[in-house]
Structure 1
Amino acid sequence: MVNQKLLIGVDVGGTNTDSVLINPLALDTPNRGVLSWNKSATTADVSDGIQKAIRSLLTDCPDVAKNEIASVTIGTTHFINAVIEQDAAKLEKVAVLRLSTNYSKYAPPFSDFPGGLRSVMEGYTALIKGGHRIDGTEVQPLDESSVREHALKIRDLGINSIVINGQFAPMYHDHEQRAAEIVRSVLPKANIVLSSTISTIGFIEREDASIINASIMSFARKIILSFKNAIRKIGLECPLLLTQNDGTVVSTAEAMKTPVKTFSSGATNSMRGAAILCAEEEWTKGQSIIVADIGGTTTDVGLLLPSGFPRQSSAYSFIAGVRTNFSMPHVESIGLGGGSIVKIAKDLTIGPESTGANLLTEGLVFGGKITTATDLTVAIGLEDETIEDKSIFQVGDGQKVVGRFSEDVKQAFKQEVKEMLENAIDRMKTSPEPIPVLLVGGGSVIAPQELDGASKVFRPPFFGVVNAIGAAVGKISATVQAIKRMEPSDDKDAFLEQLKLQAVEKAVAKGAIRESLVYDDIVVNPIPYVPNTIEFMVKVIGEVDYKAMHYSVAPDEGDSEIEESGGSVAKHSETSGDYIEHHLKFDVSAYRPFINSEKEWILSEIDCEFLRIGTYILGCGGGGTPYHHYLALRHMVRAGKLVKVIRPQDFPKYQKGDGAVVAVGYAGSPTVGLEQLSGDEMVHGYNLVKKYSNITPQASLPWEIGGGNGLTGLKIAADLGIPCVDADFMGRAYPLLWQMIPVCYSEQPCFPPCALADGNGTTMLLSEAASDVIVEKVFRASLSEIGAHCGMVSFMTAEDISQRSIHNTTSLAWKIGRAVHTARQNSEVQNCAEYIIEACGGPKTAKKIFTGKIIRVDRRLFKGHVYGEIDVKDEYGDAVMTIPFKNENIYCELNENGSKKITASVPDLISVNDAETGEALGTQDYRYGLHVFVLVISPSTRWTDTAEALRTGGPSSFGYDFDYTPVGTYVKPHSVIEEYMS
C-alpha cells in the first residue's frame, strides 16, 4: 500500500460525526474502496471527536501507515448552526461600507435581516461615493477620504469585521480592492470581506452573504485551527481540506476567508458520496440521478447531474431567514425521517414532528413510548414473509413492535411514505421520464424499494456514511465571470477562450491538477435592454494536487490560538427564534390598516408585506420582482416617514393650481435592477419636469401596479411628503410604456413633458413628442447610455386620475397579499387560489383555470424583451396548458384530448403561482418541476370598452391574430380606506 494515496473524509453533523478511510483507486471494487468507517456521537469539542473518529479508522486498518494518507477532508454544519442559533458568543458585529454613491440608499444594510440576527450582527454602516455601472464606467470616483474617515470610526467602535460592497464589484473589483487597502492601513488585523469574493450579481443578496461570512469568520478560524491541531496530534502530515456548498473542496486558508461557502456542504457531501458509490453501475452512466438523503428528522432530495455534482439552486437561498444568492445545492426538504412521529387516527400522519436525536430513547423499538417511522418500518420488515433479507430491519428490539400494528395501519404507513417521497422526487426531476433514485442516510431504511417516477431505486453500500465518502473525494473548482459590451469588431468566442484560460489558472493556483480540469459550466447570456452587452461565466473542476497542498497543515501564524480556545461548539447564548420565519409574524384576521380622520391610509410594515405579494401577482409574470422596492418601502416606514394613500375621488381636496399628479416607474434591464438599486432617480426626474412646467403635483401614482413598479408611487410620495392615489394606469404590468389607459383614451400624446433620470446627475427632458410610441423609443434608446436602469417621470392631470386610470388597484394588491397570508395562517395553502379569487371579487371575476407541474420552459431574448413559453401538465391527466410570454404572460392554450383551445388572453391578467407558497412566479422564475396554479383575473372595463383599448392591450398588440374572449366580469375593487374607515 505504500504507493497508494488514501483519503480520509469526516462529516461533523449536529448529532453524529461520520468518518471513512477510502482508497480512491479502488472505487470499482465491491467495497467501493472503503477500508474502514465510523459513526459516533458529535462531541462538544469537535476537535476531540474528529481525533477519536480518525484514530478509530486507523485502528481498524493496522496495515495503513500514516504517511499513506494523502488528505483529510472535513464537512461541518457548525458554522451555519451558529448563525441559525443567533449565538452572540460566536458571531461578531459587522461594519458595512457600501460603494454605490446614492444607489441603494433606501434599502440600507441589514434591511433584510430578521430582528434577532440583526441585533447580533449590525455594527456600523456607511454609504460612500464609488461603484460601477454595468458597462464598467464609474458611477463616481471612489471617495478615498470618506473610506478612511469611516475606517477610523469603525476602529473607535472596536468592530473587527468589515464588509466592503461595491456596485457591480463581481465584474469590476478595483473600488473594493482600493477601499480594502485603506481600511487595512487603519485596521491591520481586521477581518475584511470583499463582496466580490463571495457571490455574483444581486447587490442586497451578495451583501447579506458577505455580512454573515464576516460575522462568523473569527469563530470559523478557531474551529478550523482546532481541526488542524487535531490532525497534527494524530501525527498526520497531509493537507487538511474543507467541503463547500457546490461539492468541491478548499484549503483551510481559503475556508477561513469564506466560511459561508461551507454552510450547506452536508447535503452536497451526501449527493457526491452517492455518485461515487454508484459510479461503476452501468445504469448511472451519462444521466441525472435523484438522491434522497433520509435522516432522523428530514429527507433532503437533490439532483445529481451527469457530472457527478449536484444541481445548484437557480434563484435565492435563505440562511437563518436572510436572503442570499451564493451557490447552494438545490434541495427539496420534507419532514420525513427515521424519527418522524406517526399519529394513528382516522387518517394516519407522519411528521413533521420528530423525536430527532432522541429516537434511541423515545422510539418503541428502543423501549420508549412514541411511535416513529422506524417502529412501523421494523414491524413491516420483520412480519413480511416475502422479505428474505431481514438484516436491515434489525434495529433495536423488534419484538416490541411485532404484532403491534394492524394491516390497515401498515398499509396506510407504506402508502404515505411512498407518496411523500414521490412528491418530493417529482418536484426535483427535470423531465417527465423515469429517473434512477438513490436512497442514502441512516433513515433510508423507511423508504420503499419501488417508487413511481423512478426507473430504479437503489440503496448503495455504506449508505449510512455516504456524506463522509463525498467529503473524502472532493475536487477543486474555480469560477470567473465578466460582463462585456461587444463591439461589432469584437470576437465573442476569443473573449470566452480568455476567460476559460483564466479559470484554469485560478483552479491550478488553488491546488488543482491542470490535466484533470474540465469545464463544468459555461454561461453566455445577453443582458436585456442593454445592446451588445453579454454576461459570461466559466466554471472548471478538477482533481486535487495533494503534493502541491502538502504543507497546508504546517503551523501558520496564529495557530497558537487553538491551544487555548480549542474546538468547542457548545452554545453560549439564547436564541430569539425569529429566524424561523423570514417575513413578519402577525395575526392576519385581527389586523386592521390605519385610516386617519382625513380618510388617509397610513401604511405599516404589514401593509408593505401584503403589497409585496399582491403587486407581483398583478404583474402577470412581468414587472420585475417587487422585493427590493419592498425593502426600501419598509425601511421608509420603519424610519418614521408617512406613506399615505388616498382614494381617487378625494384627490380634488388636495388640488392646488393645475392639480397635477406625478406618475412614475422604472425602465431598463431587470439584470441591472438587481445590482443598481433605487436611489434618487425619481426625485431628480420630478425636479426636472417641475422646473420645466412650473407645476407642483399634489399626489403620486405608479405607471403600473404590477411587479416592482407597483410600489414606486408610494416611495416617491413618502419622499415628497404627498399622498399616493389608490390607482394606476394599467391595473397590471405590460412590457411597453404606451400600453396604458391614458394612451387609449386620448388623441394627443399623454406623457410629455416627461423625464428620464439615472440618479447620478444625468437627466433627460422630452418636452414634446409626436406620439407616446415615440416617447417609448427615445427613452429605450437612451437607457443603455445612462445605466440601463432609470426612473421615468411624467405629470398627469386630475382628469387622467378620474377618467383615465384604474381605481383602487393598490387596495386590490393589498387584498391579494392578505389573502395569501390568510391561507397560510389557516394552513390552507392548497386552497390559496380560492382565497385570492375571493379577494379579487369572487368566481365571476377571477378563476383558477389550471393546476399542474411545469414540464417545459423555453426562453429567448429579442429586442430587449424576454420571450418564451411554458407547458404546464395536469397532475392527474394528460391535459397540457401552454402559456407564451413577452415579459408578461400573453395567453393560455389548453391541449386536451388532441384538441387545442385558447382559454384566456390579454388583457385578462394571467398569473402563474407557486402552489407551495401561493406567491407569483415571474417569467424569470419559471423552471421545470415547479407545481403551480394558473389564475386569470378580469381586467378593468377600461381595457375592454373600446376597440382602441383592445388594440393597445389585447392579443393583436403582441402580434397574435385571434379575438379576445373574457374569462369573467370585472368588479371594481373595494377601497381599503372605505372598508376600514371608522
Structure 2
Amino acid sequence: MSMAGKLLIGVDVGGTNTDSVLMNPLALDSPNRGVLAWNKSATTSDVSDGIQKAIMSLMSDCPEIEKSHIASVTIGTTHFINAVIEQDEAKLEKVAVLRLSTNYSKYAPPFSDFPGGLRSVMEGYSAILTGGNRIDGNEVRPLDEEAVKTHAFKIKELGINAIVITGQFSPMYPAQEERAAAIIRKILPKANIVLSHTISTIGFIEREDASILNASIMTFARKIILSFKDAMKQIGLHCPVLLTQNDGTVVSTSEAMRTPVKTFSSGATNSMRGAATLCAKEKSIHGKPVIVADIGGTTTDVGLLLPSGFPRQSSAYSFIAGVRTNFSMPHVESIGLGGGSVVRIGNDVTIGPESTGAKILTEGLVFGGKTVTATDVTCAIGMEDDSIKDKELFGVGDFSKVKGKFSKDVKQKFSSELKKMLEAVIDRMKTSADPIPVVLVGGGSLIAPPELEGASSVFRPPFFGVVNAIGAAIGKVSASVQAIKKLDPTDSKDEILAGLKESAIAKAVSKGALKDSLVFDNIVANPIPYVPNTIQFIVKVIGDVDYHSMKYSQPIDNDDHDSEKSGGSVAKNSTFSSQKIIEHEVKFDVNSYKPFINTQGEWILSEVDCEFLRIGVYILGCGGGGTPYHYFLALRNMVRSGKLVRIIRPQDFHKYQQGDGAITAVGYAGSPTVGLEQLSGDEMIHAYDLIKKHTDVLPQASLPWEIGGGNGLTGLKIAGDLGIPCIDADFMGRAYPLLWQMIPVCYSTTPCFPPCALSDGNGTTLLLSEAISDVIVEQVFRASLSEIGAHCAMVSFMNGKDISDKSIFNTTSLAWRVGRAVHEARQNSEVEKLPEYIINACGGSKTAEKIFSGKIIRVERRTFKGHVYGEIDVKSEDSDSVMTIPFKNENIYCEVNQNGKKKVVASVPDLISVNDKETGEGLGTQDYRYGLHVFVIAICPSTKWTDTAEALKSGGPSAFGYEFGYESVGTYVAPFSVIDEYR
C-alpha cells in the first residue's frame, strides 16, 4: 500500500530540548505505537534551524520514507508564552485598546490588572467609546464611528501596530467590533487588529486581557511561524504546517498567527494527548480517566486525561504571567520536582524545589558534577537494588560516580519523600477517592516509584521521553459556537441547539476537519439569572484533520510573508532587566504592614487594604454576593489615582451628622453572568442623584447592604466618589439573596428602604418613593431588572440614627482581617494552616470552626425565579463521610452523611464559607466545580440574627423552606475595629 500522505511528524520545542517523532497514525495499535523514528536534541537559539535538523534526522533514520509520504508537520512551542513571562520587549509590542462599552467599565480601564512590569511593556493607548450591547442583543448605544476614526489616527501617530477592540457582549453580538475594525483598517491597513470575540467568551476584563496578550505577541509569533514554514520549504516538505493549541487541538499556521495566545499552554496538553496515544493498548487504562504526570528536569506537571483523550480544562479563570484570562487552558498542577531537583541530606532528606535544570548534564553526580540530584539517588537505588529488574532505565550517566554513596537510610528517606510529593499532587488532581491509573511521562520520569498510593496502576509507556512530540503529531481540529437566545413561547430549545450544532460542524470543516469524524465535545445550555426565558448556548466539536483538504487550503508556499522577514531567533533581549519600569507593583510584608489612621480617627484606604478586602469579602459572601474582582479593580484604581477613601467607626458617625443625619446604603442587584460583562459605570451615582433630587436629603456617610461578595466594596467606592466617609458596618454581616433579608427590616415595623432608586447606568432610572413593605420593594425592582439590563445599582437613603440598632458593626474590619490572614498564611509558607488563620481572624475557635475538608465530587445547578439553586457534595479527605451543601445564591446548610447517618452540622444564619484549599480564596457558587479541593468554615453570625424570632425567621432555615431548627456553631465574637487597633 502506498504511504503517500499517510505519515505525521510532531515537534515539541521546549526551553531545553526539541523533541520530534515520525509516526504512522494507522499503526497506533502496534507495539511501537506507530512511532517510526524519534529524536531529542538541545533547543537552538534559532528554533527553525533546530526543527529543520530534527526533522532531517528523522528522515535519515527512515531512508525508505519519501517526503511525499508526510501528511503534516505539527509543532508545539513554549516560546510565545515564555516571551510574555520574561516580559521581553524585543518580542512584545505596545498595544492600543478601544472599548465599545459607552460608560460601562470606565472605573476598571484597560491594563488595570496587569503586573507593573508587563504593563510598562504592553500599555500603549486606550479609550472607551460609545457602543456595546445588552445581554438581550439590544445596543447600549450605536457605535460612534467618528470616534473610532479619531482614535485610529491617534494610534497611527503613536506608531502602534497592535490594536484590541473589546465590545460589551461581543462574543454573542460581534457586529460592532467588526464594524470598528473595518474603519480602522482603512486608516491602518497593516495593523494587527484583534477582535475580542475571536479570543474568548463572556467575561469582559478577562477576555480583553487575553486579547491584549495576543495582540502584543502577534508580530513575533508571525515571524517564528513563518520561519517554521520556511524550514519545511528548505527541507522540501510540501504539506500543511500546523500548531498545537491549549485544548489539545491543532490549527493552521494562518490561524495560529491570528491567535497565538491559544497556543500558550499547548506543552502540557501535548503531553497528555501523547500519553493517551501511547496508552491506547492498555486495557486497564482505555476508556477511563487517567492521571498523567509529566516529570521534567525541574518540575512535575500533573493533569487529568479524560476518557475522550483530551485533558480536563481549568475552571473559569487562568493566569498567564500574572494576567487573569478566561480562555480554555488545561488544568495542571505543578510542583518543584524533577530529575534535576537538588537533594539535601541531613536528619531528613529534602528534594527541590531548587533544581539544576538543564545544567544537570554538568552538575549532577552521574555526569561528573558535584550536586546531588534526584536522578543521582534514583540511579543508585535502581542499580543497587537486586529486586529491580529493569536496570536499563537507570543506566544514566556514569553509575560509578554514585555507587555506594548513599546509605540504606538515606535511600529510604528519599524514596518516602519522593513518593509523598507525587502522591499529594496526584491526589489534588483526582476527582474521587477511587484509585485511578497514573501514567508517567517525560525525561525525568525515571525518578518516580513503581507504586503510588491512590493509583490503581502506574504505567510508564514506551517513548515516554518524547511524549509531547507524539501529542503534537496526533492533534485534532476543534470549533465552537456560542449564542445567547431569548426564547419565545413557540421557540424550541432543541431546534436552536440543532442549528448551533450545524454551525459548529460547518466551522470545523472550514478549519480543516473531516466531517464524518466530528463528535460533540461540549454542549452547554445555561439559563441566565434574572433574564426570563434567556439561555446561553455553547457547542464545541472535535474531529480528525482532513490533511488533503488542508494541504490545498493552506499551501506551504502561499504568499503570506508580506514585507516581513521571517526568522526563528528566540534570543532574549539582553537589555530587559535594566529597562523595566515597575509602576503600581505593591510589595509588602504582611506581618509588619499597618493601615493608616489619620488624626481624625479615619482609616484611609491603601492598595494593600484593597487587596485584603478583595479576599475577605468573598469569604464572608458564603458563596454569594458576586465576585468582587472587578469592584476591587475599580476601588484600587480610585486609590491609585489619589482619591481619599475614608472609613469611620459607626459610633463616630455623629461627628459628621447634620440634622437627623442620613446614610446612603448601596449595592448591585441582578445576574452574576451579566455582571461579568457589563462592568460598573456611573449607575450608582445616577441612582444617588435621582433620590437626592426628589428628597433634597444630603447623606453624610455610606454603607454597603452586605459585606459579602462584590457588594461589600460598593460602599467604599461611592464614598470615594462623593467625598463622604464609609461606615465600618453593613446590614447583613454576610451575603443573602433577598433585599429584605437585612437587619433593618427585621427590626422595623415600617419599610426601611424607600426612598430608593434603581439605575442601569445608561440613562434609565427608577425611583420608588414609597412602598407598603420592603418585600414589595424587592418584587418591583426584581421585575424591572430584566427590562433594563439585568444588572443595576440600587441606592437607598436611610435614617442615620438607627445605625447602632440596625447594622452590624466592624464588618469591613472583619473582611480586612480575614484577607490579611490569608496573605499571612501564604507569606509564612503555612498554606496547610489556612483554616486556622481565617478562624483566628474571625475571633478564634469559639466563634468559627473548620467543619469539613475534602474534594467536590458533585455539582448541580438550576435557575428559578432569578436565583441560582443547587447543591454540592464534598468527599472527606480522611474518611468515607460526605458533606452536602445546598445553596440559593448563598450556601444554606451543611449536612454530613457518615455511614448512612445524616446530620446537619451548620445552617444559616451561620456564615458557611467554602474555600479553595490551595489558596484560601473564597468560592462563589458559580466557581464550584467537580474535583476542587476545599475546606468549609462555619462562622457565628451577629446576635442581631439570633436574638429575635423575627430575625431568625428572615435569615434562618425557615426563610429557605426548611423545617429543621437552627443551632449555632459557637458563640458570636464581635469583630474588633481596625481603627481602634491601629489609630
The TM-score normalised by the length of structure 2 is 0.98
* Distance across 2 between alignment mates of 1:423 and 1:751: 51
Please state whether the residue corresponding to 1:402 is helix, strand or coil.
Answer: coil
Which whole-Å CA distance do the structure 1 matches of 2:192 and 2:75 have between them? 23
Q: By how many angstroms is 1:570 displaced? A: 3.5
Task: Give how far 1:558 is off.
Answer: 5.0
Residue in 1 aligned with 2:673?
671
TM superposition shift of 1:553 = 4.2
How much identity, in percent, do the aligned residues show?
76
Whole-angstrom distance in 1 between the partners of 2:39 and 2:595: 58
Q: Quote the residue 1:738 is aligned against.
A: 740
Between the two proteins, the alignment pairs up a number of residues equal to 981
CA distance 1:477–1:580, change in 2 (3 Å):
farther
Match of 1:433 in 2: 434
Question: Is contact 1:613-1:816 (8 Å) kept?
Answer: yes
Distance 1:543 1:160, change over 3 A: same
Aligned to 1:332: 333
Following superposition of structure 1 onto structure 2, how do residues 676-715 of structure 1 map, counting pairs within 5 Å? 676-715=678-717
Corresponding position: 1:835 with 2:830: no
* Residue type of the alignment partner of 1:890: I
* 1:451 corresponds to: 452
Matches within 5 A, 1:153-168: 153-168=154-169
Whole-angstrom distance in 1 between the partners of 2:645 and 2:268 = 44
Residue type of the alignment partner of 2:148: V
**Cα deviation code 1:910-938 (max 9, x no counterpart):** 11112211121112222233222221111
Give 1:869 deviation, angstroms.
2.1
TM superposition shift of 1:582: 12
Instruction: Report the equivalent of 1:144.
Output: 145
- Which string of whole-angstrom CA distances, capped at 9 and with x for unpartnered residues, describes residues 271-328 of structure 1? 1111111223323332211111111111111111111111111221100000000111
Q: 1:97-138 CA deviation, whole Å, 9 max, x = no partner?
A: 000001101100000100000000000000001010110000
Superposition deviation, residue 569 in structure 1: 3.7
Could you report, residue by residue, the CA deviation over 1:340-364 in whole angstroms, capped at 9, with x for unpaired residues? 1112222322111111111111111
Matches within 5 A, 1:184-203: 184-203=185-204
Query: In the TM superposition, what is the alpha-carbon distance from 1:554 to its structure 2 partner?
Result: 3.2
Corresponding residue SS for 1:40: strand
- Report the equivalent of 2:95: 94
Cα deviation for residue 619 of structure 1 reads 0.5
TM-superposition CA deviations, 1:62-110 (whole Å, max 9, x none): 1111111111111000000000000011100000000000110110000
**Residue 554 to residue 388, structure 1, CA distance change in 2 (3 Å):** closer
Q: Which residue is equivalent to 1:297?
A: 298
Quick one: distance in 1 between partners of 2:585 and 2:450? Answer: 39
Counterpart CA distance in 1 for 2:396 and 2:847 is 57
Aligned to 2:777, which of 740, 765, 775? 775
* Preserved contact between residue 7 and residue 69 of structure 2 (Cα < 8 Å): yes
Partner of 1:533: 534
1:931 maps to which residue?
933
1:895 deviation in Å? 2.8
Listed one character per residue, the Cα deviations across residues 651-706 of structure 1 (whole Å, up to 9, x for unaligned) are 11112234110100011111111000111111011011111111111111100000
Stretches of structure 1 that go unaligned for 5 or more consecutive residues are none
Give me the whole-angstrom Cα distance separating, in 1, the residues matched to 2:418 and 2:27. Answer: 35
Shift of 1:562: 6.4
Partner of 2:923: 921
User: For 1:541, what is the secondary structure of its paired residue?
Assistant: strand
Root mean square deviation of aligned Cα: 1.7
Query: What residue in structure 1 maps to residue 848 of structure 2?
Result: 846
Distance 1:856 1:513 in 2: 35
Aligned runs of 1:535-934 on 2, under 5 Å? 535-551=536-552, 552-559=554-561, 565-575=567-577, 584-934=586-936
Q: Which amino acid aligns with 1:320?
A: A
Note closer, same or farther for the CA distance 1:140–1:4 as it changes in structure 2 (3 Å cut): closer
1:860-891 Cα offsets, whole Å, 9 max, x none, are 22222222222223322233322222111112
Q: Distance in 2 between matches of 1:583 and 1:948?
A: 48
Task: Find the aligned partners of 2:350 and 2:807 in 1 and give their Cα distance.
Answer: 51
SS at match of 1:623: coil
Contiguous gaps of at least 5 residues in structure 2: none
Which whole-Å deviations, capped at 9, do the CAs of 1:628-661 have from their partners, x for residues lacking one? Answer: 1101100111111111111111111112234110
Q: Is the 8 A contact 1:114 1:579 kept in 2?
A: no
Q: Is the 8 A contact 2:4 2:68 kept in 1?
A: no
Contact 2:661 2:801 in 1 (8 A): no
Report the counterpart of residue 10 of structure 1 in structure 2.
11
Provide the C-alpha distance between the structure 2 equivalents of 1:440 and 1:583, rounded to a whole number of angstroms. Answer: 38
Contact kept? 1:850, 1:874, Cα under 8 Å: yes
- Residue 216 and residue 139 in structure 1: after superposition, are their counterparts in 2 closer, same or farther (change >3 A)? same
Contact 1:225 1:562 in 2 (8 A): no
Letter in structure 1 aligned against 2:100: L
CA gap 1:562/1:398 in 2 versus in 1, 3 angstroms: farther
Which residue is 1:956 aligned to? 958
Q: Which amino acid letter does the alignment assign opposite residue 836 of structure 1?
A: I
Deviation track 1:204-255 (CA, whole Å, cap 9, x = no partner) reads: 0000000000000000011011111111001111111111001111111100
Instruction: Measure the CA separation in 2 of the matches of 1:709 and 1:180.
Output: 36
Contact 1:226 1:567 in 2 (8 A): no
* CA contact 2:224–2:566 (8 Å) conserved in 1: no
Report the 3-state secondary structure (helix = DSSP H, G, I; strand = E; otherwise coil) of the residue aligned with 1:589. coil
Q: How far apart, CA to CA, are the structure 1 residues paired with 2:7 and 2:42?
A: 24
**Inter-CA distance 205–576: structure 2 relative to 1 (3 Å threshold):** farther
Question: Aligned to 2:22, what secondary structure does the other structure show?
Answer: strand
Question: Taking structure 1 as reference, are residues 696 and 526 closer, same or farther at Cα in structure 2, changes over 3 Å only?
Answer: same
Q: Structure 1 residue 749: deviation in Å? A: 0.8
Instruction: Please state how far the C-alpha of 1:56 moved relative to its aligned partner.
Output: 0.4
Decide whether the 8 Å contact of 1:289 with 1:435 is kept in 2. Answer: yes
1:228 is matched with 229
Aligned to 2:404: 403
For residues 79 and 581 of structure 1, the distance between their equivalents in structure 2, rounded to whole angstroms, comes to: 24
Q: Please say if residues 4 and 23 of structure 1, whose CA atoms lie closer than 8 Å, have aligned partners that are also in contact.
A: no
Task: Classify the secondary structure of the residue corresponding to 1:253.
Answer: helix
Residue 970 of structure 1 corresponds to 972
- What CA deviation, in whole Å up to 9, does each residue of 1:475-513 have, x standing for no partner? 111110000011111011111111111111111111111
Q: Which is worse superposed, 276-285 or 83-92? A: 276-285
Q: Within 2, Cα distance between the matches of 1:852 and 1:254?
A: 42
Q: 1:583 to 1:115 in 2, by over 3 A?
A: closer
Tell me if the contact between 1:227 and 1:567 (Cα under 8 Å) persists in the aligned partners: no
Partner SS, residue 863 of structure 2: strand
Cα shift at 1:850: 2.2
CA deviation profile, 1:125-153 (whole Å, cap 9, x unmatched): 00001010110000000011111111111
CA–CA separation in structure 1 for the residues paired with 2:921 and 2:71: 49
Distance 1:503 1:320, change over 3 A: same
Q: Distance in 2 between matches of 1:2 and 1:668?
A: 60
Give the secondary-structure state (helix, strand or coil) at the position aligned to 2:118. Answer: helix
The CA distance in 2 between the partners of 1:483 and 1:458, in whole Å, is 44
Deviations 1:516-564 (A, max 9, x none): 1111111111112211110101111111111222242433445275656
For 2:584 and 2:399, locate their aligned partners in 1 and report how far apart those are by CA, in whole Å: 42
